[in-house]
Structure 1
Amino acid sequence: MEALLASTLTVAIAEIGDKTQLLALILAARFKNKTAIILGILLATLANHFAAAWVGQWAIGLISPELGQYLVAASFFAIALWVLIPDKVDAEESRFYAMGPLLATFILFFIAEMGDKTQIATVVLSAKYDALAMVVLGTTLGMLIANVPVVIAGHFSAEKLPLQWIHRGCAVLFALLGMATLLL
């Protein structure tokens, strides 16, 4: 249960102001079918984060538990610093729009998550908790918690949120996870 809660909370907070949340806003403005966009986000996140969690579990199995503990803690500290750097949406990917809202969302979200801080967090969370299903479920819930409201209320803009404070709070959360990994 701890893996599910930690994964949900960290990804939901880390996702606020992230490029995929901004992408959700763009897709919501572009397409009327909000259900297809939400389904695309769900499927892309499940696929991407399952692969990331699997890599985390595979990688942690290759090293000693003590080294793994230090690497996981260092990774949480690195993500804490990384989250302080605001994301921007990459160049408009309009060539995918012709595929419709479901396929366009799936492709764009899957690509946007590659190497993103929430994907890296999924690798680290999976390595820490050794609970692949709970981590994937939690990180997916976190993505949906952060992105579904943006899709539903497409006119709501991320610029209205106190992103600097949200990023700082998220950085503190990742740093606390790093400290807890070292101490527990």
Structure 2
Amino acid sequence: MLAAFFAAFAAVFLLELPDKTTALTLVLSTRYRARAVFAGAAVAFVLQAAIAVGLGSAITLLPTRIVAGAVAVLFAIGAVLLIRESLEEPSPEASNGAELRAATPVLKAAGASFVLLFTAEWGDASQVTAIGVAAHYDHPVMVFLGAFLALMVVTTLALVVGRTIRDRVPAHFIQRGAAAVFIVFAIIAAVEAIAG
């Protein structure tokens, strides 16, 4: 039983560290308060882990092109919005983004974080891996816990790094860098949609 937990945790953790979900969490941490991002991520990842374990191999029946195409469009839209925001003239009192983070209601920030992270994680390698681990070990609760905890550990690490970055780097540089990352992810997803 513990083997299922550790297999799910290790596989998902290793897949998520360099993943788009980590980059997205870093971006969200520069816009919203960490607790709101964490709450949105927790709900998104509970659902994702449950879907992975509950549906088993059903994820393989989803059309890869449609999933990849939707992800490409979402990342492209995110890149455009980030670039547009980075070009806006910041007000002197909001130059570090602290006022924006404080002014955004927690539920709105958590909701935005949920939608973005849930969508980004849909059909991701870690979700597919969790499906495989669940099928192999036949201990769905332990696989669920391992996958969920791995996702939340990676999210926590991204939030800590995000806080450090936003305190030292001007917001418009972070937004432009995040836009570049989003463009790369959009291109990768578009290629997957076309080749799929």
TM-score band, normalised by the shorter chain?
Answer: 0.5 to 0.7
Given the superposition, is the C-alpha separation of residues 10 and 156 from structure 1 closer, same or farther in structure 2, using an over 3 Å criterion? farther
1:39 and 2:60 are equivalent in the alignment: no
- 1-structure distance, mates of 2:45, 2:144: 9
What residue is the counterpart of 1:55 in the other structure? Answer: 55
Larger radius of gyration: 2
Query: How far is 1:19 from its partner?
Result: 0.6
Q: Does the CA contact (< 8 Å) of 1:53 and 1:126 recur in 2? A: yes
- 2-structure distance, mates of 1:156, 1:90: 24
What residue is the counterpart of 1:110 in the other structure? Answer: 118
- 1-structure distance, mates of 2:8, 2:164: 25
TM-score relative to the length of structure 2: 0.58
What residue is the counterpart of 1:127 in the other structure? Answer: 135
Letter in 2 for 1:54: G
SS at 1:115 equivalent: coil
What residue is the counterpart of 2:95 in the other structure? Answer: none
Identity among equivalent pairs (%): 28
What residue is the counterpart of 2:75 in the other structure? Answer: 90
TM-score relative to the length of structure 1: 0.61
Letter in 1 for 2:14: I
CA offsets, 1:48-75, max 9 Å, x none?
110111111789xxxxxxxxxxxxxxxx
- 1-structure distance, mates of 2:21, 2:14: 13
Q: Does the CA contact (< 8 Å) of 1:57 and 1:132 recur in 2? A: no
- 1-structure distance, mates of 2:11, 2:135: 15
Deviates more, 1:130-139 or 1:146-155: 146-155
| RMSD between superposed Cα atoms in Å | 2.6
- 1-structure distance, mates of 2:34, 2:130: 26
In terms of fraction of residues, the more helix-rich structure is: 2
Equivalent pairs, count:
126
What residue is the counterpart of 1:30 in the other structure? Answer: 31
Structure 1 segments unaligned to the other structure (5+ residues): 60-88, 160-184
Given the superposition, is the C-alpha separation of residues 125 and 138 from structure 1 closer, same or farther in structure 2, using an over 3 Å criterion? same
Letter in 2 for 1:121: T
Equivalent residues in 2 for 1:67-82 (5 A)?
A: none
- 1-structure distance, mates of 2:108, 2:151: 21
Query: How far is 1:100 from its partner?
Result: 2.1
